[in-house]
Structure 1
């Protein structure tokens, strides 16, 4: 199948979170039929917003993944990392024969190979996808590495839809390994900045620390970068924590102890827990995770820590 011509008459999205909705908007803007499923449809607090977005975009939402993928020539999986294999296994029996299953989840090479096994055994064509930077600034044109035996056959059709994909390797796991190793650094840097600057704020030395960072790394505006890191972790820490646990799995698969990745996952999850508890305001409301000064959010973290120490 690797040499066949591929076109996509209908597209299904498994996962209608931030990434799924962005892809839906860009695909629907081209007039393409899009079906979607998200587990959040089962939760009243999220269901209303998802239905409203889908209706506005002309996307058909389905209660079950089987219904969403049944007519699709291209299925895009964009869920949380911990669900990547489970979603592939759930969707596989319901795929059209020869349908492409593009796994854009941030999962380890081992998880990608496991997901591929389920899809290919059911007659689908599994293609590994590794998203190489944050999606919102780039939208559908986010840099995307493809992997697997069918990657070469689908890169042109995907790019015709607006993707910015290129083939990393015909072997499964190579694209994911590239993504995971990058995330050791990127997600780790987010966690380190939060830990470093919140601690500096406690001791009243934050301005001196930022000045030192500016001197050492003059190409980075550390005030803006810190604000961005705080915002992204507060808003998406849960998803990031799951991704970094997959990063840790990747490191273990290489035979190393994932000391850095494990610590990063804990820090990201800790911030996510506080965000879920409402420490930074209410999700979806103006001002949530949008402070231009990271000190505002650091002060909230420090106040919570002080409160817990006194309890």
Structure 2
């Protein structure tokens, strides 16, 4: 199999290294920084280690492969698609693994359309240094079925989301709202707990609350309960914010949570639900529409 990379940073390097260990794969790559005084040596070192043939022009990569993985920064992904379009081979599979948002992925799909080119919006859902080419990937777009058929035999873990470009990235970015948000919230909570010397008590109390149920059950309980108690819970957070600020501890996350609860309270969901906690989180979301 012949595979091409545009952009040879950490993602392309780790995937290439893993694929080379898996089987007979001929990999070529181009990175615009290949001859840069600062980053060039690292790119060349990685290419040699992963047994990847570096090219001096992107056209050289495109002329040699029907499977192209574009691994460039999100803010460059659309621009790069325009630069590559004139050189894409007929029936090429164009796989964009950037962290671009769904709208950008849709624009890239529209930009390269023609000549039988198939597009894949690929969202990598784990750390590349750990998983290498076996990193779980969510994929959507017209080329997804071919992507799975061609690369799954080499150990790649690809799950189809849909035929719509952007859907895979939507899952990843929406998931990040929670994963990145909860990390930031934990940092704020732990800083306060440590400042007041109640670390173990706070962690133990939260653990007792969270460990007894599944994530789905806890999520449902928190969302449905908050829908009718938003005013009271916002007021309690105001006290938390005052406590943090009096101790010169940053309260960014607590303020954001209070703002969200204040916004939620304007929907008068307690009245809409007649004071009774709804049974499903979906009832709350639909009530906000």
- C-alpha distance in 1 between matches for 2:133 and 2:75: 23
1:61 counterpart = 2:54? yes
1:119 counterpart = 2:112? yes
Q: Which residue of 1 aligns with 2:265?
A: none
State the Cα distance separating 1:59 from its structure 2 match: 0.8
State the Cα distance separating 1:196 from its structure 2 match: 3.7
Contact preservation (8 Å) 2:94, 2:119: yes
Give secondary structure in 2 for the equivalent of 1:41: coil
- C-alpha distance in 1 between matches for 2:27 and 2:194: 47
Q: Which residue of 2 aligns with 1:182?
A: 175
Q: Which residue of 2 aligns with 1:142?
A: 135
Q: 5 Å matches for 1:42-57?
A: 42-57=35-50
> Aligned Cα RMSD in Å?
2.6
- C-alpha distance in 2 between matches for 1:89 and 1:216: 51
Q: 5 Å matches for 1:2-17?
A: 9-17=1-9
Q: Which residue of 1 aligns with 2:66?
A: 73
Q: Which has the higher Rg, Structure 1 or Structure 2? A: 2
Name structure 1 gaps, 5 residues minimum. Answer: 1-8, 220-258, 264-311
- C-alpha distance in 2 between matches for 1:140 and 1:48: 23
Moved segments of 4+, more than 4 Å: 198-209
Report how many residues are paired.
214
Of structures 1 and 2, the one scoring higher in RCO (CA 8 A, sep 6+) is 1
- C-alpha distance in 1 between matches for 2:120 and 2:127: 20
Q: 1:117 to 1:44 in 2, by over 3 A?
A: same
- C-alpha distance in 1 between matches for 2:99 and 2:24: 28
Q: 5 Å matches for 1:1-311?
A: 9-29=1-21, 30-121=23-114, 123-198=116-191, 200-201=193-194, 204-218=197-211
Name structure 2 gaps, 5 residues minimum. Answer: 213-251, 257-289
- C-alpha distance in 2 between matches for 1:76 and 1:89: 15
